[in-house]
Structure 1
Amino acid sequence: MQLILRRLQLGSGVVLWTYLFLHLVNHALGIWSLDLAGRGLTLALHLWHSVPGTILLYGAAVLHFAMALHTIYMRRYWALPPAEWIRLWAGLSLPLLLIRHAVTTRLAASLYGFEPDYERIVISLITSGTQGLQLALLAPGWIHGCLGLWFRLRHHAMVRRAKPALFALLVLLPLLSAAGFFRMRQAVVAMHAILPAPDPTLVVHQLTLNAWRHNLIVLYLWLVISAFVAGQLRNWFDRRRTRDSLR
């Protein structure tokens, strides 16, 4: 059973890591032009918004999160090495940042027909003052995924030999993505003497989208805290049962 769970966790993690990798590459295309990044976004939307892509991506996200809750519940000791703490922080902080992005793009597209493109997205981020959040959005998930893959695959000689190249990928891709976003921001600002208002679809349904965002964040935090508290209670009962059996 443990082997099956580990394989499910690894498989779902690889799907999510692939999504993050393509998303970072897509942002990095903005270094060359807004149009090139837009073409990459169109391809990504065809991939992830298709029925198979949606099932694969969101199925992997739900499965990976369920595995994380199971790990939190089952963990008996929290004396972890620094790399594990970094991976844990990165993995748990990603949904807090990602929920805002998912509600504004995917949920708005599914419920209200909002069609995202980089010009609309950048204008929305600038006018709302959340462009810094966009830059920080994918970094925790990227770090979490890379560390998770390294911990699982580092016993392979080929992976150990490729460590310098993998470390370079870990560091450089988010930097290129940030540079691409800054370049797209400059391009959008240069196109407009005065930035237009955000997309009317987002404006009209802003209160509803904010409610979705708030409720999803509360649900996420409640599930994580509940798994931790339930695990600690189980550990306390186990220790008490052990002490009673030794008397």
Structure 2
Amino acid sequence: MRPVLHRLQLGSGVVLLIYLFLHLVNHALGIWSLDLAGHGLALALRVWRSVPGTILLYGAALLHFALALRTIYGRNHWALPLTEWIRLWAGLSLPLLLIRHAVATRLAGSLYGFEPNYERIVISLITSGTQGLQLALLAPGWLHGCLGLWLRLRHYAIVRDAKPALLTLLAFLPLLSAAGFVRMKRAVVAMHAILPAPDPKLVAHQLALDAWRHNLVTVYLALVVSAFLAGQLRSWLERRRSRKAALNV
């Protein structure tokens, strides 16, 4: 089963990495204009909100998370190289981004009819003071995906030869995305003498959306901690059985 699980982990990770790549590129389009970024967002919504896109994205996210929990549960020691610690930290932050994104856009749209565009999104982030958090959560997920893909494919000569270009993409795409978001923020602020309130649908149902977000984050963290504690208990029981077996020999 191990090769199958590795392929499933790689496949689901690639789907999530493509999602993050397109998300970062979409933000980066804001460097040129808010309208161009808006067209990119409309296209992305058509792709990811379609039935195949929804199944692919959220199916990949659930599968990747389930395999991550299995890895956490099955690990007997945590003396990891620095690269693995970085990848683990970055990967565990990715579901936090997906939860925020799913609640603020998909759930708000499905339950309350909110139709996101970049002007509404920027206004909502500014008024809630979470624009920095949104940018901060994108980069670790991108880092996790790129490191995971590199560790899986680095034994191929063509991948090793492309290392400088890959490092450039790894470093500069989040920077371009942040620059695009800042440019869009300035454009939105310049459009209004007084920044308007967020979309009324979001305001009216903000408490319900916050509750959804809080509950999903709580469940996510509880699953991660439970997998870790259960794995430690399993490891302790295995060591105890091994010591008893050695004493009985």
Instruction: State the TM-score, normalizing by the size of structure 2.
Output: 0.98
Task: Please say which of residues 49-58 and 99-108 is displaced more in the overlay.
Answer: 99-108
Q: Name the SS for the 1:149 alignment partner.
A: helix
1:185 and 2:189 are equivalent in the alignment: no
Residue-by-residue CA offset, 1:31-73 (whole Å, 9 max, x unaligned): 0000000000000000000000000000000000000000000
Alignment map for 1:69-148 (pairs within 5 Å) = 69-148=69-148
What one-letter code is carried by the residue in structure 2 that aligns with 1:37? A
For 1:98 and 1:47, the matched residues in 2 are separated by: 16
Report how far residue 178 of structure 1 moved.
Answer: 0.3
For 1:98 and 1:58, the matched residues in 2 are separated by: 9
What one-letter code is carried by the residue in structure 2 that aligns with 1:39? H
Report how far residue 93 of structure 1 moved.
Answer: 1.7
Q: Name the SS for the 2:12 alignment partner.
A: helix
1:27–1:37 contact (8 Å) kept in structure 2: yes
Residue equivalent to 2:49: 49
Report how far residue 97 of structure 1 moved.
Answer: 3.6
Report percent identity of matched pairs.
Answer: 79
Question: Structure 1: 5+ residue runs without aligned partners?
Answer: none
For 1:215 and 1:130, the matched residues in 2 are separated by: 18
Residue equivalent to 2:59: 59
Q: Name the SS for the 2:227 alignment partner.
A: helix
For 2:77 and 2:137, the matched residues in 1 are separated by: 30
Residue-by-residue CA offset, 1:107-146 (whole Å, 9 max, x unaligned): 1011111000000000001111111112112111100000
What one-letter code is carried by the residue in structure 2 that aligns with 1:169? L
For 1:59 and 1:135, the matched residues in 2 are separated by: 24
2:9–2:67 contact (8 Å) kept in structure 1: yes
Residue equivalent to 2:68: 68
1:30–1:183 contact (8 Å) kept in structure 2: yes
2:139–2:174 contact (8 Å) kept in structure 1: yes
2:93–2:137 contact (8 Å) kept in structure 1: no
Q: Name the SS for the 1:138 alignment partner.
A: helix
Q: Name the SS for the 2:30 alignment partner.
A: helix
1:201 and 2:189 are equivalent in the alignment: no
Residue equivalent to 1:221: 221
For 1:228 and 1:176, the matched residues in 2 are separated by: 36
2:96–2:137 contact (8 Å) kept in structure 1: no
Task: Please say which of residues 158-167 and 95-104 is displaced more in the overlay.
Answer: 95-104
Task: Please tell me the root mean square deviation across aligned C-alpha atoms, in Å.
Answer: 0.7
What one-letter code is carried by the residue in structure 2 that aligns with 1:40? G
Question: Structure 2: 5+ residue runs without aligned partners?
Answer: none
Q: Name the SS for the 2:121 alignment partner.
A: helix
Q: Name the SS for the 1:194 alignment partner.
A: coil
Alignment map for 1:160-179 (pairs within 5 Å) = 160-179=160-179
